Amino acid sequence: MSKTIAFFPEAAFGPALNSVGIAQAVQALGHKAVFLSDPGFVSVYEGYGFEAYPVNLSAPVPPEQMAKFWEDFINGHIPNFRKSPYDQIDNYVKDCWTAIVDSAKWAEKDLPAVLAKIQPDLICVDNVILFPAIKHFGKPWVRIISCSENEIEDPQIPPHLSGCRQDDLAGHAAFRDRFNEVIKPIHDDFNAFLASTDEEPYPIGQFFEASPHMNLLLYPQSVKFDRAHPLDPNQYQYLEGCIRKEAPYTVPTFAEHNDKPLIYISFGSLGAGDTDLLKRLIKTIGRLPYRALVNVGDYKDQYEDVPGNVVIESWFPQPSVIPQIDAAIHHGGNNSFTECLYFGKPAIIMPYVWDGHDNATRIDETGHGFKMPRYDWTDEELAAKLEHMINDAAMKAKLASTSAHMQSRNGPQKAAGILDQLINTGTYNA
């Protein structure tokens, strides 16, 4: 029997497009998938053929003005991208959590009425903060964790956003202590909001909880952390990526090095504002025996004298591009991270914020690629890393194994099966 499943992803392309992948698989099973959406993302979901219902996450403004707000927010923090994750706590991270808490307060104004209108049988939320109206609606709800799996904490693994190695226990403690110190006023404000909705307060540092029904983690098996307390498979399932379907992509003919290995460079739609870094990478690649596709976002008009072995565009259908490349350079966003692993492609991750730090460390310590600083590198170091990734037999074998495993799991289809069981029986039995 067809049921309605509502998806409420964070207003960012990573979570949004992961939910699109799951929604496509849900509809293939005969259910109806709809989206609850920040107004600025309504057109994204409609572009994939889904109904989308706006939920204001801030004071109402035109969608293009909201998009500009986040673009300006990221660009204003570019100087902080040179800092360590620890040193970003009292600037970028603090500012982010302030905005995220504000978004939860605003959502509570619209969500009850929107849910009453849609009447979903199941709600899937991909965010880092609780929206009380979802718990109060009276239907099962699922938490999707599209960022690093350490969003679900464990005493033996690095804290979320820290970029620490698994074995750096002193670093874990230092980051947690500093995070909790800086975040306390924001956390106190959030707990006051929770009290106003008859929700219990969260302990310091926590802004969300695990769903009692199901939690879907996109993290791949090959890079997941060694937990002190393994997650119960009846409540937590690893999807190993959620690769959405995109239109095919034909690699263009390059004026130079058209027979050389192909590199893909992308720092996401917001990270494209770091044009100085992208220009430096383009210049360096221009001197190397490779071709490169470079995502420059909305800044294409700022690039002149692009080398003949480089093609720049404002957007690429990434799941259709990555299978055709030899290596990638990206920011560590979860889509780029999991898509490269899914298709068995090595990557250099140059992180700048959020869980990009965690994913960069994880890809390096598991041998699927390299972590590199965004600014403190030489042309020779970049060339050596690229040469290693493209030619090293051991890395190729590891990536091939990871890819085969992930593709055999089919994340979107697995998620749809879990949601189907949950919506029809009320529980999931692994």
Query: Mean pLDDT for each 10-residue chunk of the chain (430 residues)?
Result: 94 87 95 94 94 90 70 80 94 94 95 97 97 96 94 95 96 98 98 97 97 94 93 94 86 97 91 92 98 95 95 94 98 92 97 94 97 95 98 97 93 94 89
**Contact of 364 with 163, CB cutoff 8 Å:** no
CATH of the domain at 110: 3.40.50.2000
Q: How many other CB atoms sit within 10 Å of the CB of residue 83? A: 16
User: What percent of the chain is helix, strand and coil (3-state, nearest 5)?
Assistant: 50, 15, 40
Assigned domain for 256 exists: no
What pLDDT shows up at residue 245?
79
- Residue 296's DSSP bridge partners are none
**Contact of 217 with 239, CB cutoff 8 Å:** yes
What pLDDT shows up at residue 63?
67
What pLDDT shows up at residue 67?
64
311 and 186, same domain (yes or no): no
Q: Counting Cβ atoms within 10 Å, is residue 91 exposed (0-12), middle (13-18) or buried (19+)?
A: middle
Output the six-digit token pair for 231.
């997650």
What pLDDT shows up at residue 84?
94
Question: pTM (2 decimals)?
Answer: 0.92
126 and 139, same domain (yes or no): yes
- Cα distances from 396 to residues 87, 308, 405, in angstroms, run 35, 28, 14
Assigned domain for 365 exists: yes
Assigned domain for 257 exists: no
Residue 332 to residue 311: CA distance in whole angstroms: 22
202 and 302, same domain (yes or no): no
391 and 421, same domain (yes or no): no
**Angle at Cα 263 formed by Cα 262 and Cα 266, nearest 5°?**
145
Assigned domain for 430 exists: no
Assigned domain for 46 exists: yes
Query: Which structural domain, as residue segments, surrounds residue 278?
Result: 262-407
Residue 99 to residue 105: CA distance in whole angstroms: 10
Q: What Rg value do the Cα atoms of the chain yield, rounded?
A: 21
**Contact of 117 with 137, CB cutoff 8 Å:** no
238 and 311, same domain (yes or no): no
Task: Count how many domains the chain has.
Answer: 2
30 and 159, same domain (yes or no): yes
What pLDDT shows up at residue 66?
67
3-class secondary-structure state, position 392: coil
Residue 415 to residue 430: CA distance in whole angstroms: 12
